Amino acid sequence: SIEQSVRVLRALGERGNYLQLREQHPREPALAPKPELDEMFDRAKAEGRDLFEYEAKHLLREHGIEVPREIVVRSEADLADAVATFGETPLAMKVVSKDILHKSDAGGVKLNLVGEVALRRARDEILASCLAYDAQADIEGVLVAPMAKQGIEVIVGVIRDPIFGPVLMFGLGGIFVEILEDVAFRSIPLSRHDAQSMVEQIKARKILEGARGEPAVDKTALVELLLSVSRIAAAYPGLSELDLNPVIVNADGYAVVDARVIVAREAVSHEESQESVA
C-alpha cells in the first residue's frame, strides 16, 4: 500500500541519518577478553547450560560494572559465612539451578531477610518449593546478596541479530518493558553519543530526570553502564544474549539486581565476533 511504502521510505531515511551520525562519533575502544572468562563460557557450553547468575555477575564485575557482593550458599559453612559477612543487612535469596529459569514461578526467591534464622528458613523453603516445582531440578544452592536501594527499574539487554549483529537494548525495566515497550536499540559497539542518545530517546526519560519531587538518576553512571555492556558483548563471542533486568538506578548510581547470560551454542571466534561489529 502507499502508506506502507511511505513508512518504509521514512525508515530508510532515518537509517541513513543514523549511519551518518555514527560516522561522526568515534566508537569506544575494544575490550580485551580475559582467558578465565572465555573458559567460563566454554565450561557452561560443555555442560549444556547458560551462565549461572553469579557467573554472569562475575563477568560484569571483572570488566568494571558495579555489582554488589554476593555469596553462593551450598553448605552450612557458606550459610555461616553469609551471616558473618552481611550481619543484620536485609538480604535477597535466589535459587541457583540450570533447570529453573523463572525463579519466582518456582518459589525460588525470598526478599528482605535479616539474620541467621530468617536465612536458614528461607533456604529450606526455597529448596522445598523448587523441588516441588521440578523434582528433577539440579540445584546448586542459593545466592545471597544485599537488597538494593530504592530507585527506578531499567533494563539493559543484548541480542545477536542475524542481519545487524549484536544489538543493545535499553528501556524501563521490570514489568514495564512488556507493558509499555518503551525501549531504544543501537548496534554494538556503541559510541558515547549512542549511549547518551539511548537514554534520551525513551519516552520515560522524564522519570529518569526526576518526577513529582523525586531526585534525578545518575545518567552519567547509566551511560557508562551501557558502554561497558557494549564492550563486553563485542569481546565475548560466547555471549549470545544478555539480560540485566532489573537494574535499579537512582541519584547515587545503579545496582544490577538480576543478570542472565545465554551462551552461544555454535562456536564463534573472537575474530568473527569483531568482524560482525566492525
Domain residue spans in the chain?
A: 69-147, 152-276
> CA-based angle 211:214:218, to the nearest 5?
95
Q: Do 152-276 and 69-147 have the same topology in CATH?
A: no
Q: Percent of the chain having pLDDT more than 70? A: 84
Q: What is the mean pLDDT of residues 45-59?
A: 97
Task: Tell the residue number behind the cell numbers 538480576, with chain if given.
Answer: 258
At residue 27, does pLDDT exceed 80?
A: no
Q: Is the peptide bond before 189 cis (omega within 30 degrees of 0)?
A: yes
Distance CA 210, CA 119 (A): 35
Residue 39 burial by Cβ neighbours in a 10 Å radius (0-12, 13-18, 19+) = exposed
190-201 pLDDT tens trace: 999 999 999 999
Per-residue pLDDT for 184 more than 50?
Answer: yes
**What confidence score (pLDDT) does residue 22 get?**
60
Residue whose entry in the numeric block shows the C-alpha cell 525508515: 11
CATH class of the domain comprising 152-276: alpha beta
What's the CATH fold of domain 69-147?
A: Dna Ligase; domain 1 (3.30.1490)
Global pTM reads 0.85
Could you tell me the pLDDT band of residue 277, with boundaries at 50, 70 and 90?
very low
C-alpha pair distances (Å), 101 with each of 43, 53, 55, 71, 257 = 19, 10, 15, 19, 15
Q: Answer yes or no: is pLDDT of 140 > 70.
A: yes
Look at residue 264 and tell me whether its pLDDT is greater than 90: yes
Q: Which residue has the higher pLDDT, 215 or 129?
A: 129
In whole numbers, what is the pLDDT of the chain averaged over residues?
Answer: 88
Tell me how many degrees the CA angle 133-262-134 measures, rounded to the nearest 5.
10
How far apart, in whole angstroms, are the C-alpha atoms of residue 202 and residue 154?
11
Tell me the per-residue pLDDT of 191-246, one tens digit each, with 9 for 90 and over.
999 999 999 999 888 889 887 778 899 999 999 999 999 999 999 999 999 999 99
- Residue bearing the bigger pLDDT, 111 or 270: 111
As a whole number of angstroms, the distance between CA 267 and CA 250 comes to 39
Average pLDDT over residues 251-269: 88
**Given a cut of 70, is residue 179 above it in pLDDT?**
no
Mean of the pLDDT values across residues 173-189? 79
% of the chain at pLDDT higher than 90? 73
148: helix, coil or strand? coil
Query: Does the bond joining 162 to the residue before it have cis omega, within 30 degrees of 0?
Result: no
